[in-house]
Amino acid sequence: MTYEVRGLVVRTVDLSGSDKLLTILTAEHGLVTAVANGSRSLKSRYLAASQLFCYASFVLESRRDRFWVREVELIESFYELRLDIVNTALANYVCEVAGDVTVPEQPDPEILRTALNSLYAIANNKYPLPVIKAAFEFRVAAMLGYLPELSACLLCGATEGEMLLDVMNGSVVCSECHSSVERELPRHEDDFAARTRSLLCILTPASRAALQYILACPLERLFSFRLGAEDMRHLSHAAEEYLLNHLERGFKTLQFYKEVASGNP
C-alpha cells in the first residue's frame, strides 16, 4: 500500500549501509517516520530531497510495519540554510521543536506552516534571527494551547507600563503589584517561592506589544515587527522561558544555537 504525503524532513538518522531514517512532519498525518533506502540505484534528486530541512512530496510504501520512501519530489531544499552555521543551528532548533510538539497521525498543519515560514525567513536573511526565534517560540506555545493573557495586570487591571509575565500562569502582573507581593513574601523564601519568582519575565511596553502582535498577526506577517536591543532582549528571554517551561524540557539544538550565536562554539 502506498501513500502520498507532503512534508518537511525534521530529523535524519543514519541506519546501516546508506539507509536513512527520516522523520517527516506532514500536514496530512502529523509526524511520519520512513526509511530512505540508499542502496538502491537512486537518482540524485531522490538523495537531495531526503536531507534535513527538505520540504518534499513523498510516496511512501507501508511494508513490514514500516514506511519506506519509494519516490520523492523536492519542493524546497532551503539550501541557503546550510551556508551559515548560526542559520543552520537555528533551523535545527526549529526542526527539533516542530518534531517534538507533533505526533504521528495527528495532523497539525499550522505547526508545519510555522516551521516552514521560519526556515524560509532564516534562509533568506529577511529578518534578524532573534526576531524569528522569539516569534516561532511564542507562536508554537500558543498553538499548543498556552496562550498568555496580556491585556491587563491580573491583580489590578492596569494596562500600561512595564509588566512581568508569569510564565506558568500565562498572565501579566504590573511592577507595582509585583513589588507589593514581593514585600509580603517571608524573609527566608522557601524553594517554592524562589522557583515561582524565577518564572517571571520582564515585559517592557514595547516587548509586550510585540508579543501581542506575534500571537494575533497572520502567519505570513509573523516576523514583521522591530524592537530596540533592550526590548528584544526581554522578548527573547520571555519567549524561550515560556516555551521550554511549558514543554518541560530543553533542547540540545538550542544550546548549540546559543553557543554559535554568541561566537563561542
Q: Please, which residue, 21 or 158, has the CB nearer to Zn ion?
A: 158
Rule CB under 5 A: is residue 155 a binding residue for Zn ion? yes
Rule CB under 5 A: is residue 164 a binding residue for Zn ion? no
Closest C-alpha among 90, 15, 6 to residue 49? 6
**Shortest gap between Cβ of 73 and Zn ion (angstroms)?**
55
Query: Which amino acid, one-letter code, is at 88?
Result: T
Strand extents, DSSP E, 28-145: 30-36, 55-63, 66-76
- Exposure on the CB side of residue 37, measured as CA atoms within 13 A: 13
Q: Which stretch binds Zn ion (CB under 5 A): 61-69, 166-174, 215-223, 244-252?
A: 166-174
Answer for which of 9, 22, 98, 177 binds Zn ion (CB under 5 A) is 177
Residue 158 DSSP symbol: -
Q: Alpha-carbon distance 134 to 232, whole Å?
A: 9
Rule CB under 5 A: is residue 152 a binding residue for Zn ion? no
Q: Please, which residue, 125 or 180, has the CB nearer to Zn ion?
A: 180
Q: Which residues does 153 contact at the CB level (< 8 Å), separation at least 6? A: 159, 163, 172, 173, 174, 177
Cα dihedral 78, 234, 244, 102 in deg (nearest 10): -40
Q: Which stretch binds Zn ion (CB under 5 A): 23-31, 71-79, 159-167, 168-176?
A: 168-176
Q: Please, which residue, 166 or 231, has the CB nearer to Zn ion?
A: 166
Answer for which of 35, 56, 60, 153 binds Zn ion (CB under 5 A) is 153
Rule CB under 5 A: is residue 158 a binding residue for Zn ion? yes
Answer for which of 13, 85, 156, 194 binds Zn ion (CB under 5 A) is 156
Site string for Zn ion, 102-141 (x = CB under 5 A): ----------------------------------------
- Exposure on the CB side of residue 176, measured as CA atoms within 13 A: 9
Closest C-alpha among 81, 126, 109 to residue 221? 126
Query: Which amino acid, one-letter code, is at 141?
Result: A
Q: Specify whether the CB–CB gap between 58 and 72 falls below 8 A.
A: yes
Q: Please, which residue, 158 or 247, has the CB nearer to Zn ion?
A: 158
SS3 14: strand
Answer for which of 35, 91, 112, 174 binds Zn ion (CB under 5 A) is 174
Q: Alpha-carbon distance 183 to 150, whole Å?
A: 24
Query: Which amino acid, one-letter code, is at 125?
Result: N
**Shortest gap between Cβ of 157 and Zn ion (angstroms)?**
7
**Shortest gap between Cβ of 172 and Zn ion (angstroms)?**
9
Residues in the interface with Zn ion (CB under 5 A) total 6
Rule CB under 5 A: is residue 181 a binding residue for Zn ion? no
Site of interaction with Zn ion (CB under 5 A): 153, 155-156, 158, 174, 177
